[in-house]
Amino acid sequence: MKKYLLIIILFGMFFSCDHHTNKIVLSPLFTDGMVLQRNTKVNVWGESSRNTEINIISEWGQELKLKSDSTGIWKGKILTPKAGGPFYLKIISENQNITIEDIMIGEVWIASGQSNMEMTMNGFPPKELILNSENEILNANYPNIRMFDVERSMKSKPSNKLSGSWIKTSPKEVESFSAAAYFFAQEIHKQLDIPIGIIHSSWGGTPAEAWTSGIKLKELGFFVNTLENMGKSDPEEVAIQWFNKFKSIDIPQKSPSEGVLKEYYKNLQFSDGKLSEFELDDQSWQTVFLPGRFDTLKLEQFDGVIWLRKEIFLDDISSDYNLNIEYIDDMDKTYFNGNLIGDFSGYGYHRKKRNYNVPKSILKKGKNVIAIRAIDIVGEGKFGREMNLTNNNGKIISIEGLWKYKPVAEIYENKFYTYETKLSLAERPFLNKLSPSLPKVLFNGMINPLIPYTMKGVIWYQGEGNVGRHNQYSSLFPGMIEDWRNKWNNEFPFYFVQIAPFRYAEDPLKNVSQELREAQRKTLELPKTGMVVTLDIGDFDNIHPANKKDVGKRLARLALVNDYDSDLAPLGPILNGSEIFKNTIKLSFTHVGSGLEYFNDQVNQFEIAGSNMNFLKANVRVEENNIFVSSPLIKHPKHVRYAWSDTPMATLFSGDGFPASSFKIEIK
C-alpha cells in the first residue's frame, strides 16, 4: 500500500510541477551597465514559468505588461527616451523582482568580423601592436562608452545561449576592447555627446560563410554538401559526452597584457611533467613525421597539447649544440635530456624561429632525447622545414623523421580538457568537431543569440578569410548582409572595411586579394551600406595593420554622415560612371570633397587594355571630378583598372584626404 501511495504522490508531483524555470531568465545583454537604443521601441525578452504575468517598469516612465506563452517565453517592446541615464529597469513576476541598474540610453552598434575587428587595444603582442596604443589606453576615460564582448561560441544549430557582460570604458578595461570598434564608438561619442554601446562579436581567421545562417547558405546554393553532412549527426552531443569525462581548464578569452598571457601558458600543468624525462617508456606512443603537421590525429584536426619525443645519437659532445627549428605553430616548451632549453609561450610566436642552446654539460655520448610540449591553439599545428642540431665544429645532425607523440590535453569550447597520461588515443572517438571556419556555426553561436536586440546598425571588418574565393564572396557577402537584416526584420545600416593591402603572394602574377576588394566594392550596390577604404593605411608585411584609429574614425564618419545628419563630407571618391572618347576612357567620381587629388609622383596605378585584356600603364589626366586615361599603344581601350594588386599604393584621393577604392571595369 505504501508503495502505491508513493507512486501516486510522485505522479502528482510530476504533472503539477512546471517543467520551465520558476525564475525569470534574461539574456546577459539585459544586465547592469547595458545600453539601450534611444528614441525607439526596444525589444525585451526572456523566459519564466509558462503562462506567467510579467510586468516591466522603467525609471523613465514606461510600463509594459506581458504574459509568457505555453513554453515560458515572453517578449515585448518598451519605448525609450532620448539619450541619457543612468536609469533602472524592473522586471517583475509574482515570485520575483529583478532590477537592472546603470542603464544608459544612446546608440547601439554591433561590431563583427575576423581578426582585424577582434584585435584588441593591446594588439597581438609581441609584434602586432596598435598605433599609439599606450597613450590611447591611458586616456580612455569614457564611462558612457560600453562594450559587450560576446564570448566565442560555435554551434551546429541556432542557439539562444550567450556569454558576456557590459563593460565601461576605462584605462584598465579598454585594453581588451576591440580597437576598431572602440575608436568607432569614441568618435561617435565625441561628435554626438551621447552614450554608445558596442556589442562586439568576432573571431579571428574566420570566413563569411561561418557568419551566415544555414538557411541563407542553402538559398544561395553554397556549401550544400557540407551543410547536409553537418545535419546528419549532432557533433556537439558526441563531443560533450566525450569531454565531460575529463577535468577542464579555462582558456583566457582576452589578455590584459602580453606578460600575463605568457605566464598563463608557461605555467600550464596537465600532470605531464615526467614526459620530458630522459628515462621514459614511450614505446606505446604513436608516431608522426616531422617537419609537417602534428595536429592531424585520427584524420581530423586536433587543437590542444601534444608531447613529442625523439631519440638521437651523438658521438661528439665536446662543445655546445644549437637546436634549430624553423618554427613551431603555436607554442612550445623544449627539453633536452630532461632539461628545459627554451620555450615560446603566448600568442604571436607561430612563425618564430626556434634556436635553442644545448650546453655540452647536459649532453650524453650515445643516446640523447629531445622532448617538446607543443600547444596548437587553432588552425594548423605544424613544425617548419628546418629541423637540426649544429655545433661549433660544423657538425649538422638532422632531427627530421619519425617522432613519438602523445596528446595530453585537447581544446573544446574555449577549455583545455586534460587527458590522463595513460589514456590511449584509441579510446578517443572520432569527433566531427566544429571548426570556426565551417558554414553557419558562428551565426548560430554568436549572432543568433543577439537577435532581436534593438540596435542602430552593424560595423564589419572581414574578408581576409575569403581571399581566393572572390567569385563566391561577391554573392556570399551581400547575401550575409541581407540575411542579418531579414533576421532582425530591419534594413539597418551596414558599414564595412575593405581589406587592406598585404603581400598574400610573393609572385605578382598570383595576386588575388584585389579581386576580393572588388567584390566588397560592388557590395555597395546594396542600400544603406558604406565602405572604408584602407589602401593608404595598410601594411604589406602585416595582415593586421597597426592604424586602427583611422579605421574606426572612417567607420564613424560613414555613420555620422548617413545616420546622424552630420555636415561632414563623405568618405573618398566613388566611381560612378565611365565612357569612351576615341582612344581615351573618361572616369567620373562622386564624394570628391573639394576635388580629386591624384599623386602622379607615385607609382602609376592606372592600367588600361583592349579586348585582349593585355593591360598596360595608362597616361592619366585629371580634370575637375574626372580622370582621363589612355595609352598610345591601345587604339580601342575596353578595360581599365586602378590599384590592381595585393600591394597597391593609394594615389587617388578626395580633397579631404580619403583614398579611392581599387577597381576594375569593362567599358560597354
Write out the DSSP string of 268-317: ---S-GGGG-SS---TTSEEEEESEES-EETTEE--EEEEEEEEEEES--
Q: Is the dihedral of CA 64, 65, 68, 69 positive or negative?
A: negative
Q: Cα–Cα distance between 209 and 594 in angstroms, integer? A: 40
For range 379-396, the mean pLDDT: 89
For range 48-62, the mean pLDDT: 95
Q: Given pLDDT bands bounded at 50, 70 and 90, which one contains residue 508? A: confident
Q: Cα–Cα distance between 114 and 121 in angstroms, integer? A: 15
Identify the three-state secondary structure at position 194: coil
Supply the pLDDT for residue 183: 98
User: Of the ranges 150-164, 431-445, 480-494, which one carries the lowest mean pLDDT score?
Assistant: 431-445
**Per-residue cell: 383:** 613544425
pLDDT at 579 over 70: yes
Q: Cα separations (Å) of 432 from 231, 248, 297, 427, 457?
A: 12, 20, 12, 15, 35
Q: Cα–Cα distance between 215 and 589 in angstroms, integer? A: 38
Please state whether the peptide bond connecting residue 32 to the residue before it is cis, i.e. omega within 30 degrees of 0. no
Contact between residue 168 and residue 128 where contact means Cβ atoms under 8 Å apart:
no
Supply the pLDDT for residue 9: 40
Of the CA atoms within 13 Å of residue 524, those in its CB half-sphere come to 17
Contact between residue 88 and residue 100 where contact means Cβ atoms under 8 Å apart:
yes
pLDDT at 3 over 60: no
pLDDT at 6 over 70: no
Assign residue 48 a region (left: φ > 0; alpha: ψ between -120 and 50; beta: otherwise): beta
Q: Which residues contact 367 (CB under 8 A, 6 or more apart)?
A: 311, 312, 313
pLDDT at 101 over 60: yes
174 membership: H or E segment, kind and range: none
Place of cell 587543437: 303
Contact between residue 288 and residue 402 where contact means Cβ atoms under 8 Å apart:
yes
Q: Cα–Cα distance between 375 and 416 in angstroms, integer? A: 11
pLDDT at 36 over 60: yes
pLDDT at 496 over 70: yes
Letter for the amino acid at 256? P
Beta bridge partner(s), residue 106: 37
pLDDT (tens digit per residue) in 171-199: 999 999 999 999 999 999 999 999 999 99
pLDDT at 258 over 70: no
Letter for the amino acid at 468? G
Identify the three-state secondary structure at position 18: coil
Supply the pLDDT for residue 300: 62
For range 543-554, the mean pLDDT: 97
Q: Cα separations (Å) of 123 from 96, 116, 518, 549, 643?
A: 43, 10, 28, 12, 28
Q: Given pLDDT bands bounded at 50, 70 and 90, which one contains residue 231? A: confident
Burial readout 158-168 (b: 16 or more C-beta within 10 A, e: otherwise): bbeebebebbb
Burial readout 566-581 (b: 16 or more C-beta within 10 A, e: otherwise): eeebbbbbbbeebeee
For range 241-261, the mean pLDDT: 77
Q: Cα separations (Å) of 238 from 235, 409, 426, 436?
A: 5, 18, 16, 18
Q: Cα–Cα distance between 423 and 426 in angstroms, integer? A: 8
Contact between residue 531 and residue 497 where contact means Cβ atoms under 8 Å apart:
yes
Of the CA atoms within 13 Å of residue 621, those in its CB half-sphere come to 8
Higher pLDDT, 434 or 607: 607
Q: Given pLDDT bands bounded at 50, 70 and 90, which one contains residue 125? A: confident
Assign residue 274 a region (left: φ > 0; alpha: ψ between -120 and 50; beta: otherwise): alpha
Q: Cα–Cα distance between 349 and 376 in angstroms, integer? A: 11
Q: Given pLDDT bands bounded at 50, 70 and 90, which one contains residue 268? A: confident
Q: Given pLDDT bands bounded at 50, 70 and 90, which one contains residue 10? A: very low
Contact between residue 190 and residue 29 where contact means Cβ atoms under 8 Å apart:
no
Higher pLDDT, 269 or 42: 42
Full 3-state SS string of 413-426: CCEEEECCCCCCHH
Supply the pLDDT for residue 4: 43
94 membership: H or E segment, kind and range: none
Q: What is the mean pLDDT of the chain?
A: 91
pLDDT at 385 over 90: no
Identify the three-state secondary structure at position 374: strand
Quick one: what percent of the chain has pLDDT higher than 70?
94
Q: Which residues contact 551 (CB under 8 A, 6 or more apart)?
A: 116, 180, 183, 461, 497, 532, 534, 537
pLDDT at 11 over 70: no
For range 468-494, the mean pLDDT: 97
